[in-house]
Copies of this chain bind each other. A is one copy, B any other.
Amino acid sequence: MAAPAEPRVCSIARTLDVVGERWALLVVREVFLGNHRFDQMVRRTGAPRDTLTARLRTLVGAGVLERRRYSEHPPRFEYRLTDAGRDLYPVILSLLHWGDQHLAGRDGPPLVLEHRCGHRLVPETTCHACGEAVEPTDVTRRSTVQA
């Protein structure tokens, strides 16, 4: 009898259930970039309006975005990051950085960020405890059930 070995219970999979659908993270990117309105998002992401509607609903439902009325007459809405949404910043930065490293053409990265320290922002993933940069080989599993 071959061990069925259920699909792994995993925070990565859970996160992707929320932000893993097509366009979801590009929507989040736009909100980080300051574009909070439906029409802006349509234009800057290229997502079909229908799909965008669906994604916004999922993201609001998951507590990543908040739908907020900014005009009464006529009623108009915009989308803002919740605290949980702001916590996605490392996800956005790491995706951005990987693209900069591996997919930038001869023109270099299309978007360059600057940290308040005055230098170009190159994001680095570090261990909160010791402050050192984290390499895959420096990490082990603690107390897990399965291989």
A residues contacting B by CB (< 8 A) are: 3-16, 18, 20, 22, 25-26, 29, 32, 34-35, 43-46, 63, 84, 86-104, 109-132, 134-136, 138-144, 147
Contacts and interface: CB of A to CB of B under 8 A. Distances in A.
A128 to B, nearest CB: 4
Contacts of A115: 127, 129-130, 132, 134, 138-139
**Copies of the protein in its oligomer:** 2
Given A119-B129, A124-B128, A147-B34, A16 B142 contact: no
Contact of A120 (B7, B16, B94, B142): B142
Contacts of A25: 12, 16, 20
Nearest to A35: B147
Nearest to A123: B125
